[in-house]
Structures are given as structure tokens and as C-alpha cells.
Amino acid sequence: MTLLGAGLMIPVIALLTQRDVAHTYPALHPALHALGTPSEQTLVIGGMVVLVGVYLIKGLLTQKIAHD
């Protein structure tokens, strides 16, 4: 989970700093098209929700392991 959380930081930072992610990273075009070509704001919000979700799950699992 730690590697997943750390690995998500770079894509989230890219979402926050890049204006046109589909143009900058053409390999993402099929995935963005499958998502319905979301706006930049929707991508940023979705990326942040995923990042927070991963860290929330990581925290819950760490706490459960520590108490068992």
C-alpha cells in the first residue's frame, strides 16, 4: 500500500500541474475517452479522491494490523 500511495503522487501532481493531460500524454487518450472525456476539473477531483481513498485504506489496514 505504501508503494501504491507513493506511486500515485506523480500522476496526481501531473493532473494538478498539466493543462491538457490528453495532449501531453497521448497514451491516456483511450482511457479518457472511455471515461467520457472528463473536464480538467473532474480529472483533478477524481485523482484526489482516489489518492485520499488509497491513504484511507492504507491507514485502516495499518491500524487493524497493529491491533491484531
d(CA 21, CA 39): 10
Q: How many domains does the chain have?
A: 1
Instruction: Evaluate the CA torsion angle 16, 18, 24, 30 in order and state its sign.
Output: positive
Range of the domain at 55: 2-67
d(CA 19, CA 7): 21
pLDDT tens per residue across span 15-67: 888 888 878 888 888 988 999 989 988 988 988 898 899 889 989 998 988 88
> What is the model's pTM?
0.73
Please report the pLDDT score of residue 10 as a whole number.
85
E strands in the chain: none
Question: Which DSSP state fits 36?
Answer: T
Instruction: Evaluate the CA torsion angle 50, 51, 53, 54 in order and state its sign.
Output: positive
